[in-house]
Amino acid sequence: MSKRPRLAILTLGIGGLLVSLATAAQAAAIYNFTNFNGPGSGTSAGAGTNMNGIANNGAAVGFGIDNAGNFTNFVRNPIGTYTTLNINGSTSAMALGINSAGDVVGTANGAAFILPFGGSAVTLTTPANTTAAFGINDMGNIVGQFTSAMGTMPGFFLANSSGSGLITINAPSGPNAVNAQGINNNRLIVGFYVGTDGQDHGFMALVSNAVGGTLTGTAIADPTIPPVMGEPGATFVFSQILGINDHGIAVGYYGDSTTSQHGFLYNTNTGQYTFIDDPAEMFDNGVEVTQITGITNSGEITGFYSDANGVFHGFVASPVPEPTSLTLAGAGLLAAWLAKRRKL
């Protein structure tokens, strides 16, 4: 199956693929992509690598899925090496978030866990019936989802892994099903909730706005999706916001009516979306996937994409300076060279 024509200019760059994307409604974004397969990654449809979060120091966490559906959790270190994670020997546990200290959170056997750097995985018992921990910031604050006594599934915030400072996060509207996915060091939480239409939509919530141990999320406007070549007439269906940095730049993806998924950045300060797909993404039976799952303070992103055989691959991508910045840098180097020449 051939790769669809891009809405982008693609060039082969040092260390990876450069992709520049722009629509009439947004500014250009240029990223240098590095694609990879993590430990334990299979080669059949639905197998491969899922990257789920990235710390501010560039360490990214995810798992490889083998052809039998077993998971191997790992950290991709900033230099590109891998450290496998032992989550109580489980082959179904999922590592979903990481901070700069190397602490990892996720879910195993239907319960949230934290794996402190250099330690052993510990199940979170507060709040009761915690199902998953999705994010952890550099202060050790944790966010995730639990099942309440009433059978709803709100989000939660914990000040630390001991269970102190519990705050319940409720949906802006609709059934109270909330996935609190990411939290930055300013305690701004992002995630998604199930709306009255039965679809997922993004939200954000600031911990300082909690009242009596309860916090209600603020709905984030759904993106107006751009036209995508190869998907004529595609319309928006849902969106999920999965991570955020300290500058208020969030990341996630949207799903459209073709069942394809496309990545985006969302600026919580301006309400602007920027759409970014991995340039190696390909159609498999009319469906293509890019999910952006985490972002650092320097703007580096992580996530995964699908190929023509439906196999997933991980990526990290670094922002490239805009042409103006590159021109200024080039001018500076030229001036230095000319000055050196004059001294000879």
- The residues near 103 (Cβ < 8 Å, ≥ 6 apart) are 114, 115, 116, 117, 136, 140
Q: pLDDT confidence of 286, banded at 50, 70, 90?
A: very high
CATH 1.20.1630.10 given to domain 8-343: no
pLDDT for 231-260, tens place per residue? 999 999 999 999 999 999 999 999 999 999
Q: Which of 203, 303, 307, 318 is nearest to 253 (CA)?
A: 303
Average pLDDT, the chain: 89
pLDDT at 14 over 80: no
Model confidence over 57-90: pLDDT tens digits? 999 999 999 999 999 999 999 999 999 999 999 9
Q: What is the dihedral of CA 114, 117, 119, 124, to 10 degrees?
A: -10
- The pLDDT of residue 332 is 53
CA dist., res. 220 & res. 254, Å (int): 13
263 pLDDT more than 60: yes
What single string gives the DSSP state of each residue in 283-334?
A: -BTTB-BEEEEEE-TT--EEEEEE-TTS-EEEEEEEEPPPHHHHHHHHHHHH
Q: Among residues 182, 160, 114, which one has the least CA distance to residue 169?
A: 182
Q: What is the pLDDT of residues 289-310, one digit of tens each?
A: 999 999 999 999 999 999 999 9
Confidence of residue 343 (pLDDT cuts 50, 70, 90): very low
> Edge-to-edge, what's the strand order for the sheet holding 272-275?
236-244, 249-256, 261-267, 272-275
Q: HSE of 269 in the Cβ direction (CA atoms, 13 Å)?
A: 6
Percent of the chain with pLDDT over 90: 84
pLDDT at 325 over 60: no
Q: What is the pLDDT of residue 91?
A: 97
